[in-house]
Amino acid sequence: MFLAKIKGNIVSTPKNKYLVGHKLLIAHAVDLEGKFIGKKDVIALDLTDAGIGDTVLVCQEGDAVQQILGHRNAPVNTMVVAVVDNIELTNS
């Protein structure tokens, strides 16, 4: 899993029948301060109602995503699993 910021939506009229009704988002990894890291965006299935600008927790592992969806039929391995409200760090 990794932290990411939502950069955009993907709108697609024709899509896999197991993705109908689900939202697809464009996410980019961020560090703990919310700064973009790396050069790659990912497409993530969203069931958390995240939106553009939200910091989210992204799971990028097919088996976990299949368990969340409850089936193995959707061609998905990346999913937004939480919208992050706050990050608190301690100096330990």
pLDDT in tens, the chain (92 residues): 999 999 999 998 888 888 888 899 999 999 999 999 999 999 999 989 999 999 999 998 878 888 887 788 888 889 999 999 999 888 86
Q: Is 4 exposed, middle or buried (0-12, 13-18, 19+ CB in 10 A)?
A: buried
Do residues 60 and 2 touch, judged by C-beta distance below 8 A? yes
Kindly report the number of other CB atoms within 10 A of residue 89's CB atom.
7
Look up the pTM and report it.
0.86
Residue 55 CA to residue 58 CA, distance in Å, equals 10
Residue 53 CA to residue 40 CA, distance in Å, equals 17
**CATH entry, 2-83, from 2.60.120.340, 2.40.50.220, 2.60.40.420, 3.40.50.1220:** 2.40.50.220
